Amino acid sequence: MRYLLLQTRDGLQFVSLPESHMYQLIALLKRLYKEIDKLTITERPELPTVLADCADVERLESGLSIVDGLEYVSGLERRFAALQETEYPLISLLTEIRALQAQLEYLHDEEE
């Protein structure tokens, strides 16, 4: 398991993902950063700043949360799917988000 440290408007957050999928999440976030300014809507989803990719986390502050990767990616999907974008081909971003989401769902089902 690996952990991605993110800076959000509300503070720091860790996202836990299998090592095999961490690169995909980082690449997805970089792509979203690159494309978000191309959206024509004024209310754009807020994206976190990626601070670190860690092999292990020992939380010393109880206020720090660790979010499951599937939960995090599903939240991204909900935020982008709700956008009322008419000019930018949003489907390409949603396809990338949903592909990672499907892989994480498959892994989650395999673990159960």
Residue 3 pLDDT class (50, 70, 90 cuts): very high
Which tens digit of pLDDT belongs to each residue from 51-106?
999 999 888 887 788 999 999 999 999 999 999 888 788 888 999 999 999 999 99
Q: Which residue is it, tokens 């994480």? A: 104
Domains in the chain: boundaries: 2-111
Nearest to 97 by CA among 45, 52, 42: 45
The pair of structure tokens assigned to 7 is: 């800076």
Strands in the chain per DSSP E: 2-8, 11-17, 49-54, 65-68
- CB count in 10 Å sphere of residue 73: 26
Angle at which helices 19-36 and 90-111 cross, to 10°: 160
Question: Whole-structure pTM over 0.95, yes or no?
Answer: no
